[in-house]
Structure 1
Amino acid sequence: MADVVLSGAIRSNLLSMQNTTKLLDETQLRLATGLRVRSAIDSPTSYFTAQGLNNRASDLNNLLDSMGQGVKTLEAADQGIKSILKLVESMKAVANQALETKINPTTITGNRSGDPLTGGVEIAGLGALATGNTLTITVGEVTASVDLGTASGEVSTVQDLIDWVAATFTGDEPLEAIINDEGQLEFSAANGRAMSIEADNAGTAVSLSELLGTRTSSTNGVNRDKYETDFNNLRDQIEQLASDASYKGVNLLKGDLLSVFFNNEQTSKLDIEGVDLTPDGLLNIGVIPNDSGDHGFAADADIKTVVDTLNAATGVLRQQASTFGANLGVVQIRQDFTSSLINTLESGASELTVADTNEEGAKMLALQTRQQLGTTALSLANQAEQSVLRLFG
């Protein structure tokens, strides 16, 4: 089939309309996508430059997430230090309460009836007591026994019993026995712990009524044992709290290392050294002995030493909190800087590729007008051939 022959005027108008349509399509696409450079074909330089800027911005965004996790790790450590400080203050309060508590001795004063006792009175024969019986005295957690009799290591008279008590109960569990002005046997445990006196004959209980009357046990003393237990319980809580102050497996209170990177090459970073903020670590808070014969709060001087140790631990905690705070400030500054840099990179990329909607809108109106004019021009060009057609009409 032969090609349709178009006049020069019509061809020119048609070509102009095709170009206008192409420009109109391109403008519509820019308005729809918001981009004037969508691929390397549009502008290789702008496209690849923008892609490089966006890639770096994306990498920095990943680093920003890592910095945020570093901040959370530091915040976890800071919260741990604050809680440990409160526990140390509680321990200090317990120690001060112990210091203010004056130890009162536990006493047992006999109320036997009959003649007043003297040192030379034979114990065997006082009521149910007899040679071969065993006397057992307990002060706190210390228990000692002695047999009645005249053999070596046994006691015969009241004075023998007094001497045996003085020689047996010494150190942290002292006990003193005397005959008071009323002729009653009196025992005094200076440590304030519970005390009891019993007698038996081959395991069968024997009455002490003729030696002591009905007073064979007493708990009316005052001691500091409870404060020792409370102190050690709080110390254990510090150890547990320090172990729990971790974030995503990193515990700065147990000596772990936290590295926060600020660029993709990992040449810019901040290494945050953890410390051992446990009682056995930098806090140096020892366990208060509370075993029989070894009590840490028995002497005022020992308690004052403990308070000094707690004051030193408070200083260590505050200093480390300041160090972590400074590190946190550095990370947050780098966070802000990285956020601003990401915004700069993305803005720069946008300037290379994003379309100006105002400009593209104006182009759209102009191209639509041009298209309408082209259609009118094409119609006018066709009128010449229509005139020839009328000759055959």
Structure 2
Amino acid sequence: SVTGTGNALNALGLAGNTGTATAFTAARTSGIGGIAGKTLTFTSFNGGTAVNVTFGDGTNGTVKTLDQLNTKLQANNLTATIDANGLLTVSTTNDYASSTIGSSAAGGAIGGTLTSSLTFSTASTPVQDTVAQTSRANLVNQYNNILNQIDTTAQDSSFNGVNLLNGDQLKLVFDETGKSNLSITGVTYNSKGLGLAALTSGVDFIDNAATNKVLTNLNAASSTLRSEASSLGSNLSVVQVRQDFNKSLINVLQTGSSNLTLADTNTEAANSQALSTRQSIAVSALSLANQSQQSVLQLLR
């Protein structure tokens, strides 16, 4: 609806054009400046925000140009246009700002200002866009196929009999006593666990509201997956740090063991050569001693 102060409605030719239509057209019927300082109030019938438009020189919140008028009307999902003949047209930009006339049989009330009698006729059967409906049905099938792939992927994400995406738990032990360990609790992240359900052709994706509901569920599932990925990434960092530490510890122990059991070949070869030389000298000394004894005995004879 449109209400105004002073002569604003008459100046814009809006008198009698403030009913429940989603658009109306009127011509200005007064001279320039006739509505300066006057205020129009625009209100859509489906709960939109009331917008007050005060005409003036464009300062202090007043409206002077068409762009300024549309800026004011934007909050109420309305738009205004002026044609070459000076006709002003105000129309809705979406279904939210339009009006649905209630049924008297259902206890509804008809809003707006009536300038003549109303005549109701039998409603005609709506005509569906078969091309659009077929396209939406195909999108539903694609969505359901993706949900099936999510389920099979979650089932196949198993390693050594442990599936962290199917609710299993994994316990990692970092030392020989078992006191140092890390327990990772799995999650059930199939389509049901993510809050996603199969869609029905002809029911879902039929309008923006149904589509936005699915998008809300997808955004929630995406946030859940990102949170769990962050948790698993943190556990992976812990495991990698402990793995590097254990590798370093193994290297230290192997080096110590080698120092205790392995021999230096050069040192041992030198020791062997020294022992061989000593043995040769001892044999030579015994031989000389034996020869000396025989010489003495020959002299005594």
TM range (shorter): 0.5 to 0.7
Query: How far apart are the structure 2 equivalents of 1:354 and 1:223?
Result: 77
Contact 2:133 2:206 survives alignment (8 Å): no
C-alpha displacement at 1:286, in angstroms? 1.5
Is 1:279 paired with 2:181? Answer: no
- What residue is the counterpart of 1:248 in the other structure? 160
Query: How far apart are the structure 1 equivalents of 2:165 and 2:226?
Result: 13
CA offsets, 1:21-47, max 9 Å, x none? xxxxxxxxxxxxxxxxxxxxxxxxxxx
Query: How far apart are the structure 2 equivalents of 1:340 and 1:222?
Result: 63
Query: How far apart are the structure 2 equivalents of 1:231 and 1:221?
Result: 15
CA offsets, 1:70-127, max 9 Å, x none? xxxxxxxxxxxxxxxxxxxxxxxxxxxxxxxxxxxxxxxxxxxxxxxxxxxxxxxxxx
Is 1:367 paired with 2:284? Answer: no
Contact 1:242 1:277 survives alignment (8 Å): yes
2:293 aligned partner, one-letter code: E
Q: Of the candidates 202, 209, 229, which is equivalent to residue 141 of structure 2?
A: 229
Query: How far apart are the structure 1 equivalents of 2:180 and 2:241?
Result: 14
Pairs within 5 Å for 1:294-373: 295-373=203-281
Contact 1:225 1:295 survives alignment (8 Å): no
Change (3 A) 1:333 1:243: same
Q: Provide structure 2 residue ranges, at least 5 long, that are not aligned to the other structure.
A: 1-120
Query: How far apart are the structure 2 equivalents of 1:351 and 1:305?
Result: 70
Query: How far apart are the structure 1 equivalents of 2:127 and 2:146?
Result: 29
- What residue is the counterpart of 1:189 in the other structure? 127
In terms of fraction of residues, the more helix-rich structure is 1
1:387 aligned partner, one-letter code: S
SS at match of 2:273: helix
1:304 aligned partner, one-letter code: N
2:197 aligned partner, one-letter code: G
Q: Of the candidates 175, 193, 198, which is equivalent to residue 263 of structure 1?
A: 175
2:127 aligned partner, one-letter code: A
1:321 aligned partner, one-letter code: A
Change (3 A) 1:310 1:387: same
Query: How far apart are the structure 1 equivalents of 2:132 and 2:230?
Result: 49
- What residue is the counterpart of 1:289 in the other structure? 200
Q: TM-score, normalised by structure 1?
A: 0.42
Change (3 A) 1:357 1:340: same
2:220 aligned partner, one-letter code: A
Greater RCO structure (CA 8 Å; 6+ sep): 1
SS at match of 1:259: strand
1:238 aligned partner, one-letter code: I
2:286 aligned partner, one-letter code: L
Query: How far apart are the structure 2 equivalents of 1:225 and 1:276?
Result: 29
1:278 aligned partner, one-letter code: N
Change (3 A) 1:270 1:368: same
Change (3 A) 1:223 1:337: closer
1:298 aligned partner, one-letter code: I
- What residue is the counterpart of 2:27 in the other structure? none
Contact 2:154 2:189 survives alignment (8 Å): yes
- What residue is the counterpart of 1:376 in the other structure? 284
Pairs within 5 Å for 1:30-41: none
Identity percentage of aligned residues:
43
SS at match of 2:189: coil
Is 1:386 paired with 2:294? Answer: yes
